[in-house]
Amino acid sequence: MARTIYCLDTSVLIKAFVAEEGSAESTALLRSIISGGHRLVMPAFARVEAGSVLWKKTRAGLLSESEAGAIWERFLSLAVEYVEDREIQEKAWEITARHNLTVMYDAVFLAVCETFAQGTRNVVEFWTADRELVSSLGPEPPGYVHLLYR
């Protein structure tokens, strides 16, 4: 039986915890994933990136250190499967070249999706708030790529 596997980039995930543009959409998406018992996968570096975003918001005065710490704890409690292996890195390299991306970083999220879909009947969905990334994938981005809001 096919199941849906979700990969959210860090911008989407942070919006579920910090009030900003797209927070309502991100929160609804995350609740749907959790309540539906769906699998959530992300590259291993997403944890560090989320922490960095929280610290940047703290230094900018948008969050207190205690607020950021509480969000960090909630973030760490999510049932996320963090993945990192050579196959994903190789696929990210190929995706970067295929779409002529300026950085390989974004391609790692896409590689996670493609890796989890490969050879299975799983449906994968990648959600991002990064319009520039979606635009850089061309006029017809991969069908698994979804923009959080318009």
Q: How many structural domains compose the chain?
A: 1
**Structural domain includes residue 59:** no
DSSP 79-147: --EEE--HHHHHHHHHHHHHTT-S-SHHHHHHHHHHHHHTTS--EEEEEE--HHHHHHT-SS--TTEEE
Over range 45-52, report the average pLDDT.
Answer: 94
| 73-89 per-position pLDDT tens digit | 999 999 999 999 999 99
* DSSP structural state of residue 62: S
**Structural domain includes residue 23:** yes
Residue 2 CB burial class (10 angstroms; 0-12, 13-18, ≥19): exposed
**Structural domain includes residue 129:** yes
Using a pLDDT cut of 70, give the percent of the chain over it: 99
| Residue 16 predicted with pLDDT over 70 | yes
| Residue 122 predicted with pLDDT over 90 | no
**Structural domain includes residue 73:** no
pLDDT attached to residue 7: 95
124/101 Cα distance (integer angstroms):
21
pLDDT attached to residue 2: 62
**Structural domain includes residue 54:** no
Pairing of strands 39-43, 81-83: parallel
**Structural domain includes residue 105:** yes
| 30-41 per-position pLDDT tens digit | 999 999 999 999
Strands (E) in 3-150, as ranges, are: 4-8, 39-43, 81-83, 123-128, 145-147
Using a pLDDT cut of 90, give the percent of the chain over it: 87
* DSSP structural state of residue 83: E
Domain containing 136 equals: 4-44+81-147
Q: CB of 76 within 8 A of CB of 48? A: no
- Here the CATH number for the domain that contains residue 108 is 3.40.50.1010
At 3, the pLDDT band (50, 70, 90 cuts) reads: confident
Residue 107 CB burial class (10 angstroms; 0-12, 13-18, ≥19): buried
| Residue 116 predicted with pLDDT over 90 | no
**Structural domain includes residue 60:** no
**Structural domain includes residue 24:** yes
Q: Look up the pTM and report it.
A: 0.91
